[in-house]
Amino acid sequence: MFFKRKPMWGKKKKLKSSYDVVIIGGGLHSLATAYFLAKDHGITDVAVLEKNYIGFGGAGRNTAIVRANQRTQYNVPLYKEALDLWPILTKDLDYNLMFNNCGNLNLMHSEAAMTAARMTIATAQFHGVESHLIDAKQAKEMVPALNISEDITFPIHGAMFHPPGGVVRHDAVVWGLARGAAKRGVEIHQETEALGIGIQNGKVTSVTTSRGTINCKQVLISAGGYSASLIHGMLGIKLPISVLTIQAMVTQPVKPLLNHVVSSGAYHAYANQTLKGEIATGAHMDPWPNYTTLTTAHYIKHQAEALSEFLPCLRGLRFMRIWGGLADMTPDMAPIMDGNNQIEGFFMDCGWGYFGFKSCSAVGKYMSEFMAKNECPDILKPFALKRYEEHRLMGETAVVVNYTPDN
Ligand SMILES: Cc1cc2nc3c(=O)[nH]c(=O)nc-3n(C[C@H](O)[C@H](O)[C@H](O)COP(=O)(O)OP(=O)(O)OC[C@H]3O[C@@H](n4cnc5c(N)ncnc54)[C@H](O)[C@@H]3O)c2cc1C
């Protein structure tokens, strides 16, 4: 029997000639902002434009890891709120986002890394985020599969354990937010590419799309890896963002053996076990800027070598799938969330690198407040573009360089 299913986010609608707000990109941040614009601020005359299908970008390609043990005082409160929001959103959206707060274990492979972790832990604890330092034996008790012998390239000295982190089902987040926004009147237009932004007398007036021109008062560009080139191409604003490919893969399914997200900066690898039993694993970005989502044999080799050292029981498992996506990296590995004094009605939310999944819930909440009130909420102020002119870089890079490339 054939059932005709209608999309969860409503029937395909005709693009209107005018909306109050146009959001470019159908990813996590756009959908979250649209949802909160409608829910918290009653702004429902909103069009989300997606050139492919919603979730096409990093939204549907990430490894779904969430955590709040960032390094800097500006980042921790934002990621904490994002983490706290998953159970709330699950209820509000009436959609199972499959939040599994299984905890994250960041392995440390030197005494210097242990010292750096102590500082990160102190910042987290100061902001009310649970995070502890444990030694190698305690790590082994939690993850019996770990190889804590001295006989590996980077022996494990200990770990930073962050119990409230874990994984959330990324496609459920996309669909849940899309459905929640659409229920409140937001229109989601797939296969609709934004091509340009019209400005008159210093104000946003329209967006040109592949389906015609739309008049609007506000535009948000949050198009993941494509944001920087769109903002430059459409408005001439150059952002300090490089776009790099990041790959991930899953193995064949196996019986439960990994109860936590385990990551290692020295090995440049992280892994967790999905509900299906697959080991989902990723690592660093490809080192050269590019816009392809091609995968490489080098990456598979690196991943296999790294995992079989610190999780040796995975040796011999077959990788089933590998994929790539784009990471829009800023020099301080912190995002840019801003308006623009020269262009009234224009907002940007970009530069998320590989932190854009774990942050999207809180960012949607605060970017929507920014747009609704036309005033930047305090929590977003440190992420303004002008920090690069003022030499106020965030220092989040240290997290990655020292020991934590986990996503
Ligand atoms: C392999 C991999 C693993 C990752 N793992 C994690 C992780 O574990 N945890 C984490 O926090 N983050 C992770 N990330 C990063 C995360 O996925 C991104 O930071 C996040 O998706 C960014 O969200 P976004 O809404 O800004 O953009 P996206 O989700 O990328 O959405 C942008 C959308 O804009 C659309 N678009 C582009 N141009 C136009 C246009 N002109 N008109 C209309 N639409 C347009 C694109 O088609 C796309 O759908 C990972 C990323 C990858 C690739």
For residue 406 and ligand 1, the question of a CB distance below 6 A is answered with no
Residue 136 placed within a domain = no
- Pocket mutation for ligand 1, best pick of 50, 234, 272 (most atoms within 8 Å of C-beta): 50
For residue range 206-246, what is the model confidence (pLDDT) as tens digits? 999 999 999 999 999 999 999 999 999 999 999 999 999 99
What is the Å distance from ligand 1's center to 64 Cα? Answer: 12
For residue 158 and ligand 1, the question of a CB distance below 6 A is answered with no
DSSP for 257-280?
A: ---SEEEETTTTEEEEE-TTS-EE
What is the Å distance from ligand 1's center to 32 Cα? Answer: 13
For residue 32 and ligand 1, the question of a CB distance below 6 A is answered with no
Q: Which residues pair with 329 in a beta bridge?
A: 242
Nearest atom in ligand 1 to 353's CA:
19
The greatest distance separating any two alpha carbons of the chain, rounded to the nearest whole angstrom, comes to 67
For residue 124, give the nearest of 174, 83, 176, 152 by alpha carbon. Answer: 83
For residue 222 and ligand 1, the question of a CB distance below 6 A is answered with yes
Residue 33 placed within a domain = yes
Distance from chain centroid for Cα 86: 14
Residue 4 has what pLDDT? 66
Residue 294 placed within a domain = no
**CA–CA separation, 89 and 97 (whole Å):** 8
Contact (Cβ atoms closer than 8 angstroms) between residue 39 and residue 184: yes
Helices (H), 62-169: 75-93, 111-126, 136-142
Residues of the chain with pLDDT under 50: 398-407
Residue 396 has what pLDDT? 77
What is the Å distance from ligand 1's center to 307 Cα? Answer: 26
Half-sphere exposure of 249 (CA within 13 A, CB side): 23
Contact (Cβ atoms closer than 8 angstroms) between residue 195 and residue 209: yes
For residue 168 and ligand 1, the question of a CB distance below 6 A is answered with no
Nearest atom in ligand 1 to 247's CA:
1
For residue 64 and ligand 1, the question of a CB distance below 6 A is answered with yes
For residue 59 and ligand 1, the question of a CB distance below 6 A is answered with yes
For residue range 146-180, what is the model confidence (pLDDT) as tens digits? 999 999 999 999 999 999 999 999 999 999 999 99
For residue 24 and ligand 1, the question of a CB distance below 6 A is answered with yes
What is the Å distance from ligand 1's center to 133 Cα? Answer: 32
Contact (Cβ atoms closer than 8 angstroms) between residue 364 and residue 85: no
For residue 343, give the nearest of 252, 190, 261, 231 by alpha carbon. Answer: 231
> In a 10 Å sphere around its CB, with 0-12 CB exposed, 13-18 middle and 19+ buried, how is residue 254 labelled?
middle
Residue 314 placed within a domain = no
Task: Give the closest residue (by CA) to ligand 1 atom 21.
Answer: 58
For residue 170 and ligand 1, the question of a CB distance below 6 A is answered with no
Question: Residue 223: phi, psi to the nearest 5?
Answer: -115, 30
Residue 177 placed within a domain = yes
User: In this structure, how many other beta carbons lie within 10 angstroms of the beta carbon of residue 352?
Assistant: 30
- Pocket mutation for ligand 1, best pick of 15, 22, 23, 28 (most atoms within 8 Å of C-beta): 28
Residue 288 placed within a domain = no
**CA–CA separation, 392 and 394 (whole Å):** 6
Q: How many domains does the chain have?
A: 1
Beta strand pairing status for 158-162 and 104-108?
antiparallel
Amino acid at 318: R
Residue 72 placed within a domain = no
Amino acid at 12: K
For residue 282 and ligand 1, the question of a CB distance below 6 A is answered with yes
Domain CATH code at residue 177: 3.50.50.60
Residue 341 has what pLDDT? 85
Residue 190 placed within a domain = yes
Domain span at 202: 21-62+171-240+332-398
